[in-house]
Amino acid sequence: MTRKMYILVLPAGVEALIDPGSVGAVLDQFMEQGDTAYVIDGNVAILSTALRIDELAVRLKRVSAGVGQFFVTDISKSDRAGNMVPKFWSFIRQSEGAEVA
């Protein structure tokens, strides 16, 4: 099973949808067992899942009915760089390692 990595961005002000304090309950509504997420600032998440982008979008539309808008894109093969906390890079590397195995 090939896992993909996506970035999900929700409009500002809807942080409750992927609030880090309740991230499991909300993400479980559209992700599958074994999927993981790294939440940044409450309205941005890096998702690791085997779902295709069209499947993910359909599920997000159901869950985010009150939000109305979201942006999701595949970053699986993108070059990545930045000044992020070590936990973020550990999440990225862990996801990449799972894909190789």
Q: pLDDT for 3-61, tens place per residue?
A: 899 988 877 665 555 555 555 455 667 788 888 888 887 778 889 999 999 998 888 88
Domain of 92 in residue numbering reads as 4-100
Indicate the pTM of the whole model. 0.73
Residue with tokens 């309740």: 22
What's the pLDDT score for residue 97? 62
Number of structural domains, the chain? Answer: 1
Q: What is the per-residue pLDDT across 66-100, written as a single tens digit (0 to 9) for each?
A: 556 788 889 888 777 788 888 888 888 876 665 43
CA-nearest of 26, 39, 55 to 47 is 39
What is the token pair recorded at 74? Answer: 């595949």
CATH number of the domain within which 86 lies: 3.30.70
